[in-house]
Chains A and B, each alone.
Chain A
Amino acid sequence: EPEVTQTPSHQVTQMGQEVILRCVPISNHLYFYWYRQILGQKVEFLVSFYNNEISEKSEIFDDQFSVERPDGSNFTLKIRSTKLEDSAMYFCASRGDSSKEFFGPGTRLTVL
C-alpha cells in the first residue's frame, strides 16, 4: 500500500540553525500538508500546498518557515532560524481526490 515517507526520523539542531524536513508524498496525490504536534498538545495545521504554491497557512507558519516541491516527488519544510519552541513532531500529509489525508510517520525536531 502506498505511504507517505519522511526523513529524517529525528533531527537535533542548535537554536538559530536552519533545518530542512523532507517528505515523499503518495505518488498520485496533488495536495500536500505540514502539521506539527508539540509534546502533549494537539496536532496543528501549518500549511497546505497545491499546484506548486501555498494554498493556506496558519498563524504559526511565519516568515521563518517555507515549503518547496523541488522535484516531482519531494516536499520539504524549511525552518530558517530555529527556536526552542519549534521543537515538535512534524507530520507531512498528502491527499488525492478524496478528503482523506494520509500522514507520514513524522520527524521529531529537537532544538537545543
Chain B
Amino acid sequence: DQQVKQNSPSLSVQEGRISILNCDYTNSMFDYFLWYKKYPAEGPTFLISISSIKDKNEDGRFTVFLNKSAKHLSLHIVPSQPGDSAVYFCAASDFGNEKLTFGTGTRLTIIP
C-alpha cells in the first residue's frame, strides 16, 4: 500500500541549475508533509516541511510546493550544489496519527 510515492528513483542535475523532486500521495487525510535528505550510513535529516493550509514554504535554497487537489508536492532546490547529492525522501502524516509515512526516495546527483 504505497500511500506516498516518489516515481523517480534517480535524478541528475547540473550544478547551479534547479533540482525538482516530486512526490505524490493518495491518502487525503495527510495534512503535513516533510522532506528529508539522507546520506549513506546516516539517518534522515529534516530539510523542510509544509502543512496543508499552505501551498508554498521557502527556506533558503529549498522551496516546497503543495498542490492538494492533485495530491502532489515538490521540492525545488536552487541553485543546486554538489553537497546536495543525496537521497531525498518525502514523508507525510496526519494530525490524528503520529507516524510518518515515507516515499521510496529519489537519489539526486549534482554534476559539477
Q: Which residues of A contact B (CB under 8 A)?
A: 4, 6, 31, 33, 35, 41-45, 48, 50, 55-56, 58, 91, 93, 99-106, 108
Interface class of chain A by DSSP = strand
Residue pair A45, B101 in contact (C-beta under 8 Å): yes
B59 to chain A, nearest CB (A): 12
Q: Which residues of B contact A (CB under 8 A)?
A: 32, 34, 36, 41-46, 49, 51, 89, 91, 93, 95, 97-105
Residue pair B97, A101 in contact (C-beta under 8 Å): no
* Nearest residue, chain B, Cβ from A44: B102
- In the bound complex, CA of A58 to CA of B104 (Å): 18
Return chain B residues, CB-CB under 8 Å to A58: 99
Residue pair A105, B34 in contact (C-beta under 8 Å): no
Interface hub of A50, A55, A58, A105 (most chain B Cβ within 10 A): A105
Question: Knowing A43-B44, A105-B42, A105-B43 touch, does A99 contact B93 (C-beta < 8 A)?
Answer: yes
Closest 10 CB pairs of A and B: A103-B43, A45-B99, A43-B102, A42-B104, A48-B98, A103-B44, A105-B43, A106-B43, A42-B102, A99-B32
